[in-house]
């Protein structure tokens, strides 16, 4: 997918998703129209973050040359910052790009799995 086709601005994302009340946690991201499994939804967008925060998404960036990598934070500034966690998720990130992993119906909330570390933290709190 070329950078020109990436959806990261709210004006581009609004064709696919909208933010609305969520039974999971305050506000959530919902599908504006049906989204097929495997379909690109949009890209998480914002400045790099060095500390954790409410809308910070951490992704593993691996160097292609030597296989080394590091966690990189992105402080969400678009609609995708309202994505909620679910063990029964219907989307996942590949880097900062969000893809449907199941068919998502119109008005269905889009969720992703925050990761094992998040699950462990929930158990301890």
CATH of the domain at 103: 2.170.270.10
Q: Using CA atoms, how far apart are residues 110 and 18, in angstroms rounded to an integer?
A: 10
pLDDT by position in tens, the chain (length 125): 444 466 777 788 899 999 999 988 889 999 999 999 999 999 998 888 888 888 888 887 776 676 677 778 888 889 999 999 899 999 999 988 999 999 999 999 999 987 765 444 445 43
Q: How many structural domains is the chain composed of?
A: 1
Domain that residue 7 falls in: 3-44+78-124
10 occurs within a structural domain = yes
38 occurs within a structural domain = yes
Q: Which of 28, 37, 47, 51 is nearest to 110 (CA)?
A: 28
72 occurs within a structural domain = no
65 occurs within a structural domain = no
């Amino acid at each position: 997918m070329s950078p020109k086709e990436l959806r990261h601005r709210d004006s581009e994302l609004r064709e696919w998703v909208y933010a609305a009340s969520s039974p999971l946690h305050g506000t959530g991201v919902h599908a504006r129209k049906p989204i097929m499994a495997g379909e690109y939804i949009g890209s998480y967008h914002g400045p790099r973050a060095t500390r954790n925060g409410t809308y910070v998404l951490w992704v593993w960036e691996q160097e292609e040359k030597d296989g080394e990598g590091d966690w990189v934070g992105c402080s969400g500034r678009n609609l995708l910052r309202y994505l909620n966690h679910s063990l029964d998720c219907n989307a996942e990130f590949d880097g900062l790009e969000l893809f449907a992993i199941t068919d998502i119906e119109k008005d269905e909330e889009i969720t992703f799995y925050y990761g094992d570390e998040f699950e462990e933290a929930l158990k301890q709190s």
